[in-house]
Structure 1
Amino acid sequence: MSPQLEELAGLARKNLPDLLPTLGYCVLWLLVRWVFYKSLRAYFKTLPATSVLKNVGMQEKVLEESFAIIGAVVATVLGFMAFQQSDRGTCGLLNTRGCFRDWPNGTDGDVGGRKDPTGAIALYHNVELGWYLHYLIKHHLGMGMVDNLQMHLHHFSTITLLLISYLLNLHRAGVLVLALLNISNPFLHVAKVVHYLEAKGDTVAFLAFAVAFFLSRIVAYPLVVLRATVLESWQVHPPFLDPARHLPVYLAANGLLLLLMVMQVQWMAGIVRLLLKAVGGSKDDFKKEGASVDYAKTKAGGVDAHAKGE
Protein backbone atom coordinates (compact mmCIF):
# COMPACT_ATOMS: atom_id res chain seq x y z
CA MET A 1 0.00 0.00 0.00
CA SER A 2 1.28 3.44 -0.93
CA PRO A 3 2.13 5.93 1.85
CA GLN A 4 -0.81 8.10 0.78
CA LEU A 5 -3.33 5.25 1.00
CA GLU A 6 -1.81 4.08 4.28
CA GLU A 7 -2.28 7.60 5.66
CA LEU A 8 -5.95 7.62 4.65
CA ALA A 9 -6.49 4.11 6.00
CA GLY A 10 -5.01 5.21 9.31
CA LEU A 11 -7.42 8.14 9.47
CA ALA A 12 -10.37 5.85 8.76
CA ARG A 13 -9.34 3.34 11.44
CA LYS A 14 -8.93 6.12 13.98
CA ASN A 15 -12.31 7.72 13.25
CA LEU A 16 -14.37 4.55 12.73
CA PRO A 17 -15.26 4.01 16.43
CA ASP A 18 -16.96 7.42 16.45
CA LEU A 19 -19.52 6.08 13.95
CA LEU A 20 -20.55 2.99 15.92
CA PRO A 21 -23.65 4.85 17.27
CA THR A 22 -24.92 4.82 13.68
CA LEU A 23 -26.27 1.30 14.21
CA GLY A 24 -28.16 2.43 17.29
CA TYR A 25 -29.67 5.38 15.46
CA CYS A 26 -30.72 3.07 12.62
CA VAL A 27 -32.62 0.89 15.11
CA LEU A 28 -34.05 4.01 16.76
CA TRP A 29 -35.36 5.31 13.44
CA LEU A 30 -36.99 1.94 12.76
CA LEU A 31 -38.65 1.92 16.18
CA VAL A 32 -39.90 5.49 15.84
CA ARG A 33 -41.24 4.70 12.36
CA TRP A 34 -43.06 1.62 13.71
CA VAL A 35 -44.70 3.63 16.49
CA PHE A 36 -45.54 6.46 14.08
CA TYR A 37 -47.14 4.10 11.56
CA LYS A 38 -49.08 2.19 14.22
CA SER A 39 -50.44 5.42 15.71
CA LEU A 40 -51.52 6.93 12.41
CA ARG A 41 -53.06 3.69 11.15
CA ALA A 42 -55.16 3.58 14.33
CA TYR A 43 -56.24 7.15 13.57
CA PHE A 44 -57.08 6.29 9.95
CA LYS A 45 -59.57 3.68 11.21
CA THR A 46 -61.57 6.40 12.97
CA LEU A 47 -62.06 8.45 9.80
CA PRO A 48 -65.38 8.43 7.92
CA ALA A 49 -65.74 6.10 4.96
CA THR A 50 -65.72 9.05 2.56
CA SER A 51 -62.22 10.17 3.60
CA VAL A 52 -59.48 9.83 1.01
CA LEU A 53 -57.35 8.25 3.76
CA LYS A 54 -59.60 5.18 3.89
CA ASN A 55 -57.78 4.03 0.77
CA VAL A 56 -54.88 1.75 1.74
CA GLY A 57 -52.65 3.00 -1.07
CA MET A 58 -53.15 6.62 -0.05
CA GLN A 59 -52.46 5.72 3.58
CA GLU A 60 -49.07 4.26 2.61
CA LYS A 61 -48.10 7.38 0.67
CA VAL A 62 -49.14 9.76 3.43
CA LEU A 63 -47.38 7.64 6.07
CA GLU A 64 -44.17 7.57 4.00
CA GLU A 65 -44.04 11.30 3.36
CA SER A 66 -45.24 12.34 6.81
CA PHE A 67 -42.45 10.39 8.46
CA ALA A 68 -40.00 11.80 5.90
CA ILE A 69 -40.97 15.28 7.12
CA ILE A 70 -39.78 14.30 10.60
CA GLY A 71 -36.47 13.02 9.25
CA ALA A 72 -35.98 16.10 7.07
CA VAL A 73 -36.60 18.50 9.94
CA VAL A 74 -34.23 16.59 12.25
CA ALA A 75 -31.53 16.57 9.54
CA THR A 76 -31.97 20.28 8.88
CA VAL A 77 -31.69 21.20 12.57
CA LEU A 78 -28.70 18.93 13.23
CA GLY A 79 -27.05 20.11 10.02
CA PHE A 80 -27.34 23.72 11.12
CA MET A 81 -25.85 22.85 14.53
CA ALA A 82 -22.95 21.01 12.88
CA PHE A 83 -22.42 23.85 10.43
CA GLN A 84 -22.13 26.26 13.34
CA GLN A 85 -19.23 24.17 14.70
CA SER A 86 -17.56 23.31 11.38
CA ASP A 87 -15.24 26.29 10.97
CA ARG A 88 -18.11 28.29 9.51
CA GLY A 89 -16.13 31.51 9.49
CA THR A 90 -13.98 30.33 6.61
CA CYS A 91 -16.01 27.37 5.30
CA GLY A 92 -19.33 28.65 4.07
CA LEU A 93 -21.38 29.42 1.00
CA LEU A 94 -19.36 32.50 0.08
CA ASN A 95 -15.90 31.26 1.08
CA THR A 96 -15.02 27.59 0.78
CA ARG A 97 -11.21 27.81 0.93
CA GLY A 98 -11.27 27.27 4.69
CA CYS A 99 -12.98 23.90 4.21
CA PHE A 100 -9.65 22.52 3.06
CA ARG A 101 -7.20 24.15 5.42
CA ASP A 102 -4.74 21.85 7.25
CA TRP A 103 -6.19 18.61 5.92
CA PRO A 104 -5.88 15.75 6.74
CA ASN A 105 -4.53 15.94 10.30
CA GLY A 106 -5.22 19.58 11.12
CA THR A 107 -8.99 19.00 11.18
CA ASP A 108 -8.85 16.48 14.04
CA GLY A 109 -9.50 19.21 16.59
CA ASP A 110 -12.84 20.06 14.96
CA VAL A 111 -14.47 16.89 16.27
CA GLY A 112 -14.96 16.56 19.99
CA GLY A 113 -12.46 19.35 20.68
CA ARG A 114 -12.67 23.04 21.39
CA LYS A 115 -14.21 23.75 17.97
CA ASP A 116 -17.00 21.24 18.52
CA PRO A 117 -17.59 21.00 22.28
CA THR A 118 -21.17 19.81 21.74
CA GLY A 119 -20.18 16.90 19.48
CA ALA A 120 -22.59 18.25 16.85
CA ILE A 121 -20.47 17.10 13.89
CA ALA A 122 -20.27 13.49 15.02
CA LEU A 123 -23.95 13.50 16.02
CA TYR A 124 -24.98 14.82 12.62
CA HIS A 125 -23.06 12.11 10.76
CA ASN A 126 -24.35 9.32 13.01
CA VAL A 127 -28.00 10.36 12.84
CA GLU A 128 -27.87 10.87 9.06
CA LEU A 129 -26.12 7.54 8.49
CA GLY A 130 -28.69 5.83 10.70
CA TRP A 131 -31.49 7.46 8.70
CA TYR A 132 -30.22 6.27 5.32
CA LEU A 133 -29.41 2.78 6.61
CA HIS A 134 -32.93 2.46 7.98
CA TYR A 135 -34.23 3.64 4.59
CA LEU A 136 -32.51 0.71 2.88
CA ILE A 137 -34.09 -1.93 5.11
CA LYS A 138 -37.41 -0.49 6.29
CA HIS A 139 -39.59 -2.02 3.57
CA HIS A 140 -38.07 -5.46 4.24
CA LEU A 141 -39.59 -5.14 7.73
CA GLY A 142 -43.00 -4.21 6.34
CA MET A 143 -42.68 -0.47 6.96
CA GLY A 144 -42.75 2.08 4.21
CA MET A 145 -42.73 2.00 0.44
CA VAL A 146 -40.13 0.58 -1.91
CA ASP A 147 -37.81 3.02 -3.68
CA ASN A 148 -36.73 2.48 -7.27
CA LEU A 149 -33.16 2.00 -8.47
CA GLN A 150 -32.47 5.72 -8.83
CA MET A 151 -33.42 6.41 -5.22
CA HIS A 152 -31.32 3.47 -4.02
CA LEU A 153 -28.37 4.99 -5.89
CA HIS A 154 -29.08 8.26 -4.14
CA HIS A 155 -29.13 6.56 -0.72
CA PHE A 156 -25.90 4.63 -1.35
CA SER A 157 -24.19 7.76 -2.70
CA THR A 158 -25.21 9.77 0.36
CA ILE A 159 -24.05 7.03 2.75
CA THR A 160 -20.69 6.86 0.97
CA LEU A 161 -20.28 10.64 1.10
CA LEU A 162 -21.11 10.65 4.82
CA LEU A 163 -18.49 7.97 5.43
CA ILE A 164 -15.85 9.79 3.37
CA SER A 165 -16.73 13.04 5.12
CA TYR A 166 -16.20 11.72 8.65
CA LEU A 167 -13.68 8.90 8.30
CA LEU A 168 -11.23 10.97 6.26
CA ASN A 169 -11.57 14.20 8.27
CA LEU A 170 -13.40 15.91 5.41
CA HIS A 171 -16.28 16.94 7.66
CA ARG A 172 -15.91 20.67 7.03
CA ALA A 173 -16.78 20.27 3.37
CA GLY A 174 -19.06 17.32 4.14
CA VAL A 175 -21.26 19.28 6.54
CA LEU A 176 -21.50 22.15 4.06
CA VAL A 177 -22.55 19.80 1.25
CA LEU A 178 -25.10 17.85 3.27
CA ALA A 179 -26.60 20.91 4.96
CA LEU A 180 -27.07 22.53 1.55
CA LEU A 181 -28.71 19.42 0.10
CA ASN A 182 -31.10 19.13 3.06
CA ILE A 183 -32.60 22.60 2.64
CA SER A 184 -35.27 21.59 0.12
CA ASN A 185 -36.24 18.25 1.71
CA PRO A 186 -38.84 19.52 4.22
CA PHE A 187 -40.53 21.51 1.44
CA LEU A 188 -40.63 18.40 -0.76
CA HIS A 189 -42.30 16.10 1.75
CA VAL A 190 -44.80 18.72 2.93
CA ALA A 191 -45.76 19.41 -0.70
CA LYS A 192 -46.27 15.69 -1.36
CA VAL A 193 -48.51 15.22 1.69
CA VAL A 194 -50.59 18.27 0.73
CA HIS A 195 -50.81 16.93 -2.83
CA TYR A 196 -51.91 13.45 -1.75
CA LEU A 197 -54.61 14.86 0.52
CA GLU A 198 -55.76 17.27 -2.21
CA ALA A 199 -55.71 20.00 0.42
CA LYS A 200 -55.83 23.73 -0.22
CA GLY A 201 -52.48 25.25 -1.02
CA ASP A 202 -51.38 22.31 -3.16
CA THR A 203 -49.87 24.52 -5.87
CA VAL A 204 -48.34 26.98 -3.38
CA ALA A 205 -46.63 24.15 -1.46
CA PHE A 206 -45.21 22.76 -4.68
CA LEU A 207 -43.98 26.17 -5.84
CA ALA A 208 -42.20 26.69 -2.50
CA PHE A 209 -40.46 23.35 -2.93
CA ALA A 210 -39.54 24.09 -6.56
CA VAL A 211 -37.91 27.40 -5.58
CA ALA A 212 -36.02 25.83 -2.65
CA PHE A 213 -34.82 22.94 -4.82
CA PHE A 214 -33.71 25.20 -7.68
CA LEU A 215 -31.79 27.63 -5.48
CA SER A 216 -30.07 25.02 -3.29
CA ARG A 217 -29.45 22.13 -5.68
CA ILE A 218 -29.31 23.62 -9.17
CA VAL A 219 -27.75 27.03 -8.46
CA ALA A 220 -25.80 26.83 -5.19
CA TYR A 221 -24.70 23.20 -5.48
CA PRO A 222 -22.51 23.56 -8.59
CA LEU A 223 -21.41 27.12 -7.81
CA VAL A 224 -20.39 26.33 -4.24
CA VAL A 225 -19.88 22.58 -3.83
CA LEU A 226 -18.57 21.43 -7.20
CA ARG A 227 -16.40 24.49 -7.67
CA ALA A 228 -14.86 23.87 -4.27
CA THR A 229 -14.35 20.09 -4.49
CA VAL A 230 -13.30 19.93 -8.15
CA LEU A 231 -11.16 23.08 -8.39
CA GLU A 232 -10.33 24.63 -5.04
CA SER A 233 -9.59 21.29 -3.38
CA TRP A 234 -6.13 21.15 -4.99
CA GLN A 235 -5.41 24.88 -5.24
CA VAL A 236 -5.03 25.62 -1.54
CA HIS A 237 -1.87 25.08 0.50
CA PRO A 238 -1.27 22.64 2.00
CA PRO A 239 -3.05 20.68 -0.74
CA PHE A 240 -6.44 19.24 0.10
CA LEU A 241 -7.56 16.33 -2.06
CA ASP A 242 -4.57 16.98 -4.30
CA PRO A 243 -5.18 14.72 -7.35
CA ALA A 244 -1.47 13.93 -7.50
CA ARG A 245 -1.38 12.80 -3.87
CA HIS A 246 -4.84 11.52 -3.00
CA LEU A 247 -6.29 10.65 -6.40
CA PRO A 248 -8.61 7.82 -5.16
CA VAL A 249 -10.32 10.11 -2.65
CA TYR A 250 -10.50 12.97 -5.14
CA LEU A 251 -12.12 10.73 -7.78
CA ALA A 252 -14.49 8.97 -5.37
CA ALA A 253 -15.74 12.15 -3.69
CA ASN A 254 -16.15 14.15 -6.89
CA GLY A 255 -17.59 11.20 -8.80
CA LEU A 256 -20.36 10.82 -6.22
CA LEU A 257 -20.98 14.56 -6.09
CA LEU A 258 -21.25 14.70 -9.88
CA LEU A 259 -23.62 11.71 -9.84
CA LEU A 260 -25.84 13.62 -7.42
CA MET A 261 -25.72 16.63 -9.74
CA VAL A 262 -26.91 14.51 -12.67
CA MET A 263 -29.79 13.11 -10.61
CA GLN A 264 -30.73 16.58 -9.42
CA VAL A 265 -30.89 17.90 -12.99
CA GLN A 266 -33.14 14.98 -13.90
CA TRP A 267 -35.36 15.69 -10.90
CA MET A 268 -35.48 19.37 -11.80
CA ALA A 269 -36.73 18.46 -15.27
CA GLY A 270 -39.58 16.55 -13.65
CA ILE A 271 -40.26 19.50 -11.33
CA VAL A 272 -40.46 21.86 -14.32
CA ARG A 273 -42.97 19.57 -16.02
CA LEU A 274 -45.02 19.53 -12.82
CA LEU A 275 -44.72 23.29 -12.53
CA LEU A 276 -46.11 23.76 -16.03
CA LYS A 277 -49.03 21.46 -15.21
CA ALA A 278 -49.65 23.28 -11.93
CA VAL A 279 -49.72 26.71 -13.57
CA GLY A 280 -51.27 26.06 -16.95
CA GLY A 281 -52.76 22.57 -16.93
CA SER A 282 -55.75 20.92 -15.37
CA LYS A 283 -55.76 19.44 -11.87
CA ASP A 284 -55.99 15.93 -13.37
CA ASP A 285 -52.93 16.61 -15.55
CA PHE A 286 -51.05 17.83 -12.47
CA LYS A 287 -51.94 14.67 -10.51
CA LYS A 288 -50.99 12.41 -13.41
CA GLU A 289 -47.62 14.14 -13.92
CA GLY A 290 -46.98 14.02 -10.17
CA ALA A 291 -47.50 10.27 -10.11
CA SER A 292 -45.04 9.83 -13.00
CA VAL A 293 -42.16 11.49 -11.13
CA ASP A 294 -42.86 9.96 -7.71
CA TYR A 295 -39.80 7.77 -7.15
CA ALA A 296 -41.25 5.74 -4.28
CA LYS A 297 -43.10 2.64 -5.41
CA THR A 298 -46.17 1.36 -3.66
CA LYS A 299 -45.96 -1.80 -1.60
CA ALA A 300 -46.96 -5.10 -3.10
CA GLY A 301 -50.16 -6.80 -2.07
CA GLY A 302 -53.26 -4.74 -2.72
CA VAL A 303 -51.76 -1.29 -2.55
CA ASP A 304 -50.82 -0.87 -6.20
CA ALA A 305 -54.45 -0.74 -7.22
CA HIS A 306 -54.68 2.81 -5.94
CA ALA A 307 -51.92 4.02 -8.22
CA LYS A 308 -53.93 2.92 -11.26
CA GLY A 309 -56.80 5.09 -10.21
CA GLU A 310 -54.86 8.26 -9.57
Structure 2
Amino acid sequence: MQEGSLSCLPSQGQRILLPEEARTEWQALLDKIQAAVRQASRLMLDASDIRSKTRQKTSRADLVTTYDVAIQKELQMMLNRLCPDLGFLGEEGEPGTLVNRDSFFVVDPIDGTTNFVYDYRHSAISVGLILAGEPVLACCFDPYLDECFTALKGLGAKLNGAPLQIGRQELSGSVILFGTSPYNPETRPKSYRYLQALHEEGRDVRRSGSAVLDLAYVAAGRGDLFFESHLSPWDYGAAALLVKEAGGKVTRLDGQPLRYDRGGSVLAGNPRVWQQAQEIWASLD
Protein backbone atom coordinates (compact mmCIF):
# COMPACT_ATOMS: atom_id res chain seq x y z
CA MET A 1 0.00 0.00 0.00
CA GLN A 2 1.29 3.42 -0.92
CA GLU A 3 0.63 6.81 0.55
CA GLY A 4 0.06 9.58 -1.93
CA SER A 5 -2.31 11.00 -4.48
CA LEU A 6 -2.72 9.07 -7.73
CA SER A 7 -6.21 10.01 -8.82
CA CYS A 8 -6.62 7.19 -11.36
CA LEU A 9 -6.06 4.43 -8.77
CA PRO A 10 -8.51 3.21 -6.11
CA SER A 11 -7.82 4.86 -2.78
CA GLN A 12 -9.09 5.34 0.73
CA GLY A 13 -8.13 8.76 1.92
CA GLN A 14 -4.46 9.13 0.99
CA ARG A 15 -3.84 5.36 0.89
CA ILE A 16 -3.85 3.62 -2.49
CA LEU A 17 -5.73 0.33 -2.35
CA LEU A 18 -4.09 -2.77 -3.78
CA PRO A 19 -5.97 -5.02 -6.23
CA GLU A 20 -7.12 -7.50 -3.57
CA GLU A 21 -8.65 -4.57 -1.66
CA ALA A 22 -10.45 -3.05 -4.66
CA ARG A 23 -10.92 -5.87 -7.15
CA THR A 24 -13.64 -4.25 -9.26
CA GLU A 25 -11.84 -0.94 -9.73
CA TRP A 26 -8.51 -2.54 -10.62
CA GLN A 27 -10.16 -4.95 -13.05
CA ALA A 28 -11.85 -2.00 -14.76
CA LEU A 29 -8.46 -0.31 -15.16
CA LEU A 30 -6.92 -3.51 -16.53
CA ASP A 31 -9.79 -3.86 -19.01
CA LYS A 32 -9.15 -0.35 -20.31
CA ILE A 33 -5.42 -1.03 -20.65
CA GLN A 34 -6.09 -4.30 -22.45
CA ALA A 35 -8.38 -2.47 -24.89
CA ALA A 36 -5.66 0.13 -25.53
CA VAL A 37 -3.07 -2.60 -26.15
CA ARG A 38 -5.34 -4.44 -28.55
CA GLN A 39 -6.03 -1.22 -30.43
CA ALA A 40 -2.30 -0.43 -30.69
CA SER A 41 -1.57 -3.96 -31.91
CA ARG A 42 -3.33 -3.19 -35.18
CA LEU A 43 -0.19 -1.29 -36.16
CA MET A 44 1.76 -4.55 -35.90
CA LEU A 45 -0.76 -6.65 -37.76
CA ASP A 46 -1.19 -4.10 -40.56
CA ALA A 47 2.55 -3.45 -40.94
CA SER A 48 4.10 -3.68 -44.40
CA ASP A 49 7.57 -3.32 -45.89
CA ILE A 50 8.97 -3.51 -42.35
CA ARG A 51 12.66 -3.85 -43.26
CA SER A 52 12.69 -0.53 -45.06
CA LYS A 53 11.34 1.08 -41.88
CA THR A 54 14.02 -0.41 -39.62
CA ARG A 55 17.25 1.06 -38.29
CA GLN A 56 19.99 0.00 -35.90
CA LYS A 57 20.26 1.64 -32.49
CA THR A 58 23.31 0.60 -30.48
CA SER A 59 24.42 -2.42 -32.55
CA ARG A 60 23.41 -4.69 -35.41
CA ALA A 61 21.44 -6.77 -32.89
CA ASP A 62 19.55 -3.75 -31.56
CA LEU A 63 16.83 -2.86 -34.05
CA VAL A 64 13.95 -0.42 -33.95
CA THR A 65 11.20 0.08 -36.50
CA THR A 66 8.87 2.99 -37.10
CA TYR A 67 6.16 0.67 -35.73
CA ASP A 68 7.90 0.34 -32.33
CA VAL A 69 7.96 4.12 -32.06
CA ALA A 70 4.38 4.56 -33.25
CA ILE A 71 2.97 1.93 -30.89
CA GLN A 72 4.80 3.39 -27.90
CA LYS A 73 3.58 6.88 -28.77
CA GLU A 74 -0.01 5.65 -29.04
CA LEU A 75 0.17 3.71 -25.78
CA GLN A 76 1.82 6.56 -23.90
CA MET A 77 -0.94 8.90 -25.02
CA MET A 78 -3.68 6.42 -24.04
CA LEU A 79 -2.10 5.58 -20.66
CA ASN A 80 -1.53 9.24 -19.85
CA ARG A 81 -5.18 9.86 -20.56
CA LEU A 82 -6.14 7.04 -18.18
CA CYS A 83 -3.62 7.86 -15.43
CA PRO A 84 -2.06 11.31 -15.84
CA ASP A 85 -0.45 11.10 -12.39
CA LEU A 86 1.70 8.07 -13.22
CA GLY A 87 5.19 8.11 -14.72
CA PHE A 88 6.12 6.32 -17.93
CA LEU A 89 9.12 4.19 -18.90
CA GLY A 90 9.27 2.84 -22.46
CA GLU A 91 11.92 1.09 -24.51
CA GLU A 92 11.93 3.76 -27.18
CA GLY A 93 12.48 6.67 -24.80
CA GLU A 94 15.49 8.96 -24.74
CA PRO A 95 18.75 7.01 -24.19
CA GLY A 96 19.77 6.86 -20.57
CA THR A 97 16.53 8.27 -19.17
CA LEU A 98 14.44 6.45 -16.57
CA VAL A 99 11.43 7.51 -14.57
CA ASN A 100 11.96 9.72 -11.57
CA ARG A 101 8.94 8.34 -9.72
CA ASP A 102 8.37 5.01 -8.00
CA SER A 103 4.94 4.56 -9.59
CA PHE A 104 4.87 4.29 -13.36
CA PHE A 105 3.85 2.38 -16.43
CA VAL A 106 6.60 0.31 -18.04
CA VAL A 107 6.07 -0.46 -21.73
CA ASP A 108 7.69 -2.52 -24.44
CA PRO A 109 5.87 -1.59 -27.67
CA ILE A 110 7.21 -4.62 -29.57
CA ASP A 111 9.13 -7.20 -27.58
CA GLY A 112 10.84 -9.33 -30.19
CA THR A 113 11.59 -6.58 -32.69
CA THR A 114 14.00 -8.76 -34.68
CA ASN A 115 11.29 -11.42 -34.95
CA PHE A 116 8.93 -8.69 -36.15
CA VAL A 117 11.38 -7.47 -38.79
CA TYR A 118 11.87 -11.03 -40.07
CA ASP A 119 8.12 -11.80 -40.08
CA TYR A 120 8.76 -14.57 -37.54
CA ARG A 121 5.37 -13.76 -35.99
CA HIS A 122 6.41 -14.22 -32.37
CA SER A 123 6.38 -10.82 -30.69
CA ALA A 124 4.32 -9.11 -28.01
CA ILE A 125 3.21 -5.77 -26.62
CA SER A 126 3.82 -5.45 -22.89
CA VAL A 127 2.38 -2.98 -20.37
CA GLY A 128 3.07 -3.17 -16.65
CA LEU A 129 2.19 -0.89 -13.77
CA ILE A 130 4.79 -0.46 -11.03
CA LEU A 131 3.51 0.86 -7.71
CA ALA A 132 5.95 1.73 -4.93
CA GLY A 133 8.64 -0.26 -6.72
CA GLU A 134 6.59 -3.44 -7.24
CA PRO A 135 4.51 -4.66 -10.21
CA VAL A 136 0.77 -4.69 -9.53
CA LEU A 137 -0.73 -4.98 -13.03
CA ALA A 138 0.36 -6.75 -16.21
CA CYS A 139 -0.94 -6.98 -19.76
CA CYS A 140 1.14 -8.88 -22.35
CA PHE A 141 -0.47 -9.40 -25.75
CA ASP A 142 0.56 -11.65 -28.64
CA PRO A 143 -1.50 -10.28 -31.55
CA TYR A 144 -0.55 -13.14 -33.88
CA LEU A 145 -2.21 -15.77 -31.67
CA ASP A 146 -4.72 -13.37 -30.11
CA GLU A 147 -3.43 -14.35 -26.66
CA CYS A 148 -3.61 -11.78 -23.87
CA PHE A 149 -1.81 -12.65 -20.63
CA THR A 150 -2.93 -10.51 -17.70
CA ALA A 151 -2.36 -10.32 -13.96
CA LEU A 152 -3.30 -8.24 -10.94
CA LYS A 153 -1.23 -8.53 -7.77
CA GLY A 154 -2.88 -10.95 -5.34
CA LEU A 155 -5.59 -11.94 -7.83
CA GLY A 156 -3.77 -14.41 -10.06
CA ALA A 157 -2.70 -14.53 -13.71
CA LYS A 158 -4.92 -15.26 -16.68
CA LEU A 159 -4.77 -16.06 -20.39
CA ASN A 160 -7.74 -14.67 -22.27
CA GLY A 161 -9.64 -14.72 -18.97
CA ALA A 162 -8.77 -18.31 -17.96
CA PRO A 163 -6.62 -18.79 -14.83
CA LEU A 164 -2.95 -19.75 -15.28
CA GLN A 165 -1.05 -22.22 -13.13
CA ILE A 166 2.70 -22.65 -13.39
CA GLY A 167 4.08 -26.14 -14.11
CA ARG A 168 5.31 -28.49 -11.39
CA GLN A 169 8.30 -30.12 -13.11
CA GLU A 170 11.65 -30.63 -11.48
CA LEU A 171 14.71 -29.65 -13.49
CA SER A 172 15.18 -33.19 -14.84
CA GLY A 173 11.85 -32.94 -16.66
CA SER A 174 12.02 -29.27 -17.59
CA VAL A 175 11.95 -27.43 -20.89
CA ILE A 176 14.29 -24.48 -20.44
CA LEU A 177 13.60 -21.16 -22.19
CA PHE A 178 16.45 -18.68 -22.47
CA GLY A 179 17.63 -15.46 -24.03
CA THR A 180 21.08 -14.59 -25.35
CA SER A 181 21.25 -10.93 -24.16
CA PRO A 182 22.34 -9.78 -27.64
CA TYR A 183 22.93 -6.20 -26.45
CA ASN A 184 25.36 -7.41 -23.76
CA PRO A 185 27.83 -9.75 -25.53
CA GLU A 186 30.19 -9.74 -22.54
CA THR A 187 27.67 -11.97 -20.72
CA ARG A 188 27.68 -14.71 -23.35
CA PRO A 189 30.50 -16.98 -22.11
CA LYS A 190 28.93 -17.58 -18.70
CA SER A 191 25.41 -17.70 -20.17
CA TYR A 192 26.40 -20.48 -22.56
CA ARG A 193 28.15 -22.39 -19.78
CA TYR A 194 24.98 -22.08 -17.73
CA LEU A 195 22.81 -23.16 -20.64
CA GLN A 196 24.96 -26.23 -21.19
CA ALA A 197 24.76 -27.15 -17.50
CA LEU A 198 20.97 -26.76 -17.48
CA HIS A 199 20.59 -28.66 -20.75
CA GLU A 200 22.56 -31.57 -19.34
CA GLU A 201 20.24 -31.68 -16.32
CA GLY A 202 16.96 -30.84 -18.05
CA ARG A 203 14.80 -32.16 -20.87
CA ASP A 204 15.40 -29.63 -23.67
CA VAL A 205 15.95 -25.96 -24.43
CA ARG A 206 14.16 -23.28 -26.48
CA ARG A 207 15.18 -19.80 -27.73
CA SER A 208 12.22 -17.72 -28.96
CA GLY A 209 13.46 -14.14 -29.27
CA SER A 210 10.86 -12.64 -26.92
CA ALA A 211 11.53 -12.48 -23.18
CA VAL A 212 7.97 -11.28 -22.56
CA LEU A 213 6.50 -14.36 -24.20
CA ASP A 214 9.09 -16.66 -22.61
CA LEU A 215 8.02 -15.45 -19.16
CA ALA A 216 4.34 -15.66 -20.11
CA TYR A 217 4.88 -19.22 -21.33
CA VAL A 218 6.53 -20.18 -18.04
CA ALA A 219 3.47 -18.78 -16.25
CA ALA A 220 1.25 -20.85 -18.56
CA GLY A 221 3.23 -24.07 -18.11
CA ARG A 222 4.45 -24.08 -21.71
CA GLY A 223 8.01 -23.93 -20.40
CA ASP A 224 9.38 -24.68 -16.96
CA LEU A 225 12.32 -22.31 -16.54
CA PHE A 226 13.52 -19.07 -18.11
CA PHE A 227 16.79 -17.21 -17.75
CA GLU A 228 18.61 -14.35 -19.40
CA SER A 229 21.80 -12.68 -18.21
CA HIS A 230 20.63 -9.13 -18.90
CA LEU A 231 17.25 -7.60 -19.64
CA SER A 232 15.72 -4.14 -19.31
CA PRO A 233 12.72 -3.31 -17.08
CA TRP A 234 10.35 -3.16 -20.06
CA ASP A 235 11.26 -6.77 -20.90
CA TYR A 236 10.05 -8.11 -17.54
CA GLY A 237 8.14 -5.28 -15.84
CA ALA A 238 4.80 -6.87 -16.69
CA ALA A 239 5.67 -10.51 -17.41
CA ALA A 240 7.42 -11.08 -14.06
CA LEU A 241 4.06 -10.50 -12.38
CA LEU A 242 2.50 -13.19 -14.59
CA VAL A 243 5.00 -15.72 -13.22
CA LYS A 244 4.49 -14.66 -9.61
CA GLU A 245 0.71 -14.70 -9.84
CA ALA A 246 0.73 -18.12 -11.53
CA GLY A 247 2.59 -19.52 -8.52
CA GLY A 248 6.19 -19.14 -9.68
CA LYS A 249 9.31 -17.41 -8.47
CA VAL A 250 11.22 -14.76 -10.39
CA THR A 251 14.43 -13.01 -9.32
CA ARG A 252 17.82 -12.09 -10.66
CA LEU A 253 20.19 -14.98 -11.36
CA ASP A 254 21.93 -14.37 -8.04
CA GLY A 255 18.61 -14.72 -6.22
CA GLN A 256 18.22 -11.02 -5.45
CA PRO A 257 14.92 -9.22 -6.16
CA LEU A 258 14.32 -7.69 -9.56
CA ARG A 259 14.65 -3.94 -9.94
CA TYR A 260 12.14 -2.08 -12.07
CA ASP A 261 14.03 1.20 -12.41
CA ARG A 262 17.07 -0.48 -13.99
CA GLY A 263 17.91 -3.68 -15.83
CA GLY A 264 19.53 -6.92 -14.73
CA SER A 265 19.46 -10.68 -15.07
CA VAL A 266 16.29 -12.77 -14.73
CA LEU A 267 15.62 -16.32 -13.50
CA ALA A 268 12.02 -17.59 -13.39
CA GLY A 269 10.28 -20.90 -12.82
CA ASN A 270 8.28 -22.86 -10.30
CA PRO A 271 9.88 -22.63 -6.84
CA ARG A 272 11.49 -26.08 -6.99
CA VAL A 273 13.06 -25.79 -10.43
CA TRP A 274 14.07 -22.19 -9.64
CA GLN A 275 15.98 -23.43 -6.59
CA GLN A 276 17.76 -26.15 -8.57
CA ALA A 277 18.66 -23.73 -11.36
CA GLN A 278 19.87 -21.04 -8.97
CA GLU A 279 22.21 -23.51 -7.26
CA ILE A 280 23.72 -24.40 -10.64
CA TRP A 281 24.27 -20.71 -11.43
CA ALA A 282 25.98 -20.16 -8.08
CA SER A 283 28.24 -23.18 -8.72
CA LEU A 284 29.63 -21.55 -11.89
CA ASP A 285 31.32 -18.74 -9.95
What TM-score, normalized to structure 1? 0.30
**Structure of higher RCO (CA pairs closer than 8 Å, 6+ residues apart):** 1
Structure with higher Rg: it is: 1
Query: Which has the larger strand fraction?
Result: 2
What TM-score, normalized to structure 2? 0.31
Query: Which has the larger helix fraction?
Result: 1
